[in-house]
Amino acid sequence: MPTPLQSARALLGAEAAALAELAARIGAPFEKAVELIAAHRGKVVICGVGKSGLIGQKVAATLCSTGTPAIFLHAADAVHGDLGILQPGDPVVLVSRSGTTAELVRLIPVLRGFGSPLIAIVGNLSSPLAEQADVVLDIGARPEADPLGLVPTTSALLTLALGDALAAALMTRRGFRADDFARFHPAGQLGRNLLLTVGEALQPLERCACARPGDPLRDTVIAMTRHPHGAAVVLTADGALAGLITDGDLRRALGRGVNLDAARAADIMTADPVRAHAPMSLAEAARLMEDRPSQISVLPVTDAATNRCLGLIRIHDIYQAGLV
């Protein structure tokens, strides 16, 4: 009898193998589905019931947010008036692992009456949906990965992944860019990080702790206490950035026994630190902080042409900007 941890690892291993197999297997039918959707000037309709319906809702949402208008239509509701959302020629994606879901099968002649191309996402190529669809995307007939082999686990994951793959392919097909994504997400953190710049969210220099290389370290600590942004900028006489002293630099210096009264700012500063520039998006600044072996939480901001320091940008400023 496996332990709970063994069951979890077995499931994840089985699902990972299924995803790798699906990635290797998609080909011409997938490309046909992408071209069919991309060529349509209206929306695409995702249709399913049960767990497949829940996956369909997520796929529709992902398509919408990446430049492909899409809606989810519950198959049971469709025959009770919701077909009014369908416009002639709208492609319909029918989602069913078995390919035999009665609510979907009985919709096929109705959808044909709308002139809708039909794309089936199924795990059974001999099923009614597969046989009657214009394009069939096969997730494979792998067993479910739960201990009983009954719960929609592998099939749900593969369907979701195939929906994400469609969205990614359509993004490439349409030339969808980061600024397009931001336009569709003006109220979300991701969109704001793409739309807002470092210059709009930084802590201006007058509100930051500043020091000269030769200033006593004790004075720098006092300035950092007065302006608690996690760092002090060390500037030359003309305002150019000479270095940065972070709270971490201070702790490490004190741990080494550095004498606050004898040491100077230049003794512990990081010369030529990683920095941001005012026109950068907040997303670019976040990547500078986080996509590195040792993450940092504050960056100096400089003018790219002159190296003149403009202030500091903190990871807190980036996420606080997303709440405004």
Instruction: Write out the DSSP string of 76-111.
Output: HHHTTTGGGG--TT--EEEE-SSS--HHHHTTHHHH
The whole-number pLDDT of residue 181 equals: 62
Residue 202 is given by DSSP the state S
User: What is the tens place of the pLDDT at every residue in 168-185?
Assistant: 999 999 887 766 665 655
- Domain containing 203 — which CATH number? 3.10.580.10
Q: What does the buried/exposed string (b/e) look like for 184-198 if buried means 16 or more CB atoms within 10 Å of the residue's CB?
A: ebeeeeebbbbbbbb
pLDDT tens readout for residues 5-53: 999 999 999 999 999 999 999 999 999 999 999 999 999 999 999 999 9
Let me know if residue 188 belongs to a domain.
no
Tokens coding 184: 């569709």
27 and 157 assigned to the same domain: yes
224 and 80 in a single domain? The answer is no
Does 169 reside within a domain?
Answer: yes
Query: Which residues on adjacent β-strands are paired with residue 314?
Result: 298
Q: What is the pTM of this model?
A: 0.64
Average pLDDT rounded to a whole number, residues 296-305: 92
Write down which residue in 125, 145, 176 finishes a domain: 176
- Asked whether residue 134 is domain-assigned, the answer is yes
Residues 209 and 242 occupy one common structural domain: yes
The verdict on 131 and 236 lying in the same domain is no
73-87 per-position pLDDT tens digit: 999 888 787 888 899
pLDDT number for residue 178: 65
| 162 and 209 inside one domain | no
Residues 139 and 22 in one domain: yes
Residues whose CB is less than 8 angstroms from the CB of residue 72 and which lie 6 or more positions away in sequence, other chains included: 45, 46, 47, 48, 53, 56, 57, 59, 60, 61
Is the CB of residue 308 less than 8 Å from the CB of residue 239? yes
DSSP three-state, residue 215:
coil
> Which of 143, 176, 209 is the C-terminal boundary of a domain?
176
The answer to whether residue 290 is domain-embedded is: yes
Residue 236 lies in a domain: yes
Query: Same domain, yes or no, for 13 and 138?
Result: yes
Q: Which two tokens stand for residue 87?
A: 């416009």
Can you say how many angstroms the Cα of residue 154 is from the centroid of all Cα atoms in its chain?
22
The answer to whether position 182 is within a domain reads: no
Report helix, strand or coil for 234. strand
Q: State which of 176, 209, 230 marks the end of a domain.
A: 176
122 and 208 assigned to the same domain: no
Calculate what percentage of the chain has a pLDDT beyond 70.
93
Question: What per-residue confidence (pLDDT) applies to 183?
Answer: 60
CATH of residue 99's domain is 3.40.50.10490
pLDDT value of position 72: 94
For residues 168 and 23, membership in a common domain is answered with yes
The reply to whether 229 and 149 lie within a common domain is no
pLDDT, averaged across the chain: 90
Question: Is 74 among the domain residues?
Answer: yes
DSSP one-letter code for 205: G
Helices (H), 40-78: 50-65, 75-78
- Reported as type and span, the H/E element at residue 298 is strand 298-302
Does 26 map to a domain? yes
Q: Domain tally for the chain?
A: 2
Same domain, 162 and 214: no
Domain holding 169, by residue range, is 4-176
111 and 240 part of one domain:
no
Return the bridge partners of 44, or none.
70
| 302 alpha carbon, distance to own chain's centre | 28
**Burial (Cβ within 10 Å: 0-12, 13-18, ≥19) of residue 51:** middle
Sign (positive/negative) of CA torsion 247, 252, 254, 258?
A: negative
* 146 closest CA partner among 10, 274, 288: 10
Cα–Cα distance, 107 to 80 (Å, whole number) = 12
Mean pLDDT of 285-306: 89
